[in-house]
Amino acid sequence: MPTFEVILRDRTVETVDGADAYQQEGPMTTFFRRGDGREVIDSWSTRVASFRTADLLVIRRSEAAAAGTAPAGGRVHALAG
Protein backbone atom coordinates (compact mmCIF):
# COMPACT_ATOMS: atom_id res chain seq x y z
CA MET A 1 0.00 0.00 0.00
CA PRO A 2 1.37 3.45 -0.81
CA THR A 3 2.38 6.09 1.69
CA PHE A 4 1.44 9.74 1.23
CA GLU A 5 3.67 12.58 2.44
CA VAL A 6 1.69 15.80 2.87
CA ILE A 7 3.51 19.13 3.11
CA LEU A 8 1.38 21.84 4.68
CA ARG A 9 1.52 25.60 4.18
CA ASP A 10 3.41 26.03 7.50
CA ARG A 11 6.04 23.57 6.12
CA THR A 12 5.14 20.77 8.52
CA VAL A 13 5.18 17.30 6.99
CA GLU A 14 2.51 14.71 7.73
CA THR A 15 2.73 11.06 6.67
CA VAL A 16 -0.47 9.21 5.81
CA ASP A 17 -0.17 5.42 5.99
CA GLY A 18 -2.98 2.99 5.24
CA ALA A 19 -4.53 5.06 2.43
CA ASP A 20 -4.40 4.29 -1.27
CA ALA A 21 -6.35 7.24 -2.72
CA TYR A 22 -7.44 10.79 -1.96
CA GLN A 23 -9.97 13.32 -3.22
CA GLN A 24 -11.26 16.77 -2.40
CA GLU A 25 -14.47 16.87 -0.35
CA GLY A 26 -15.66 20.45 -0.06
CA PRO A 27 -12.98 22.43 1.84
CA MET A 28 -11.13 19.23 2.84
CA THR A 29 -8.83 16.79 1.05
CA THR A 30 -9.52 13.31 2.40
CA PHE A 31 -7.35 10.19 2.16
CA PHE A 32 -9.11 6.83 1.77
CA ARG A 33 -8.44 3.12 1.93
CA ARG A 34 -10.52 1.62 -0.87
CA GLY A 35 -12.35 -1.66 -0.42
CA ASP A 36 -10.64 -4.90 -1.51
CA GLY A 37 -10.53 -5.07 -5.29
CA ARG A 38 -12.12 -1.61 -5.65
CA GLU A 39 -10.66 0.87 -8.15
CA VAL A 40 -12.79 3.85 -7.07
CA ILE A 41 -13.60 5.68 -3.86
CA ASP A 42 -17.12 4.62 -2.90
CA SER A 43 -19.27 3.66 0.09
CA TRP A 44 -16.97 0.72 0.86
CA SER A 45 -13.96 3.05 1.26
CA THR A 46 -12.65 3.99 4.70
CA ARG A 47 -11.60 7.56 5.55
CA VAL A 48 -8.06 7.58 6.94
CA ALA A 49 -7.14 11.29 7.25
CA SER A 50 -8.35 14.75 6.18
CA PHE A 51 -6.63 18.11 5.79
CA ARG A 52 -7.93 21.57 4.88
CA THR A 53 -7.25 21.86 1.14
CA ALA A 54 -6.21 25.52 1.55
CA ASP A 55 -3.38 24.38 3.88
CA LEU A 56 -1.84 21.86 1.44
CA LEU A 57 1.26 22.64 -0.62
CA VAL A 58 2.35 19.19 -1.85
CA ILE A 59 1.08 15.62 -1.74
CA ARG A 60 3.75 13.03 -2.52
CA ARG A 61 2.80 9.38 -3.05
CA SER A 62 5.44 6.67 -2.61
CA GLU A 63 4.86 3.00 -3.22
CA ALA A 64 5.54 0.79 -0.22
CA ALA A 65 8.97 -0.82 -0.35
CA ALA A 66 9.83 -4.39 0.54
CA ALA A 67 11.28 -4.81 4.02
CA GLY A 68 14.89 -3.65 4.20
CA THR A 69 14.88 -1.74 0.92
CA ALA A 70 14.76 1.93 0.06
CA PRO A 71 11.35 3.41 -0.84
CA ALA A 72 10.35 3.12 -4.47
CA GLY A 73 10.09 6.26 -6.61
CA GLY A 74 7.10 8.42 -5.94
CA ARG A 75 4.94 11.00 -7.63
CA VAL A 76 4.63 14.60 -6.51
CA HIS A 77 1.34 16.49 -6.79
CA ALA A 78 1.88 20.22 -6.30
CA LEU A 79 -1.26 22.10 -5.39
CA ALA A 80 -1.98 25.64 -6.52
CA GLY A 81 -1.69 28.07 -3.66
- pLDDT at residue 69 in the model: 47
- pLDDT at residue 16 in the model: 98
CB 20 within 8 A of CB 5: no
pTM of the predicted structure, to 2 decimals: 0.78
Could you tell me which residue, 77 or 21, shows the higher pLDDT? 21
Confidence band of 35 (pLDDT split at 50, 70, 90) = confident
pLDDT at 4 over 50: yes
For the chain, which residues make up each domain, given as ranges? 3-78
Radius of gyration of the chain (CA): 13
- The torsion angles phi and psi of 55, rounded to 5 degrees, stand at -90, -5
